């Protein structure tokens, strides 16, 4: 019998799907990302590499959501907060770094929502690790 996915699974799935789609978009249109992040053209190889990493991460996250791997979800929360803080501070370095702030808010907001979902599920007794 199939049982519905928990809220935390949904948050991980949405984040994974967004990472996958963003990675594909970045791989197809790297110059748009260079402009939005205020990076020089010499950063193109790094942008291409990070787009592949985003695609892989999207696959991992959606697979974890399908598997209902709550241990994985819990481990992503502190890493995503760390990522958000690095991105936020990166915006200070770049005059045209508004894209970094957007990425930081998406990472931090997603981590917060996933963390709250896990906390709520644990509190109501549905947490099964």
Residue with tokens 């241990």: 71
Residue 42 lies in a domain: yes
Domain count, the chain: 1
The range of the structural domain enclosing residue 21 comes to 7-123
**DSSP character at residue 41:** G
Residue 95 lies in a domain: yes
Residue 129 lies in a domain: no
**What does the alpha-carbon distance between residue 69 and residue 59 come to, in Å, rounded to a whole number?**
14
Look at the pTM and tell me if it is higher than 0.85: no
> Is 11:112 a contact under the CB 8 Å cutoff?
no
| Tens digit of pLDDT at every position of the chain (129 positions) | 345 578 999 999 999 999 999 999 999 999 998 888 888 899 999 999 999 999 999 999 999 999 999 999 999 999 999 999 999 998 776 656 678 888 899 999 999 999 999 999 988 755 554
């Amino acid at each position: 019998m199939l049982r519905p996915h928990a809220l935390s699974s949904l948050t991980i799935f949405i984040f994974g799907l967004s990472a996958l789609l963003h990675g594909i978009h970045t791989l197809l249109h790297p110059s748009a990302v260079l402009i939005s992040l205020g990076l020089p053209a010499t950063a193109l190889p790094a942008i291409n590499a990070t787009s592949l990493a985003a695609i892989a991460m999207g696959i991992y996250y959606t697979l974890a959501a399908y598997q209902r791997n709550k241990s994985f979800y819990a481990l992503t929360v502190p890493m995503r907060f760390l990522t958000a803080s690095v991105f936020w501070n990166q915006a200070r370095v770049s005059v045209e770094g508004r894209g970094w702030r957007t990425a930081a808010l998406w990472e931090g907001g997603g981590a917060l929502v996933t963390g709250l979902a896990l906390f709520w599920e644990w509190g109501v007794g549905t947490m099964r690790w």
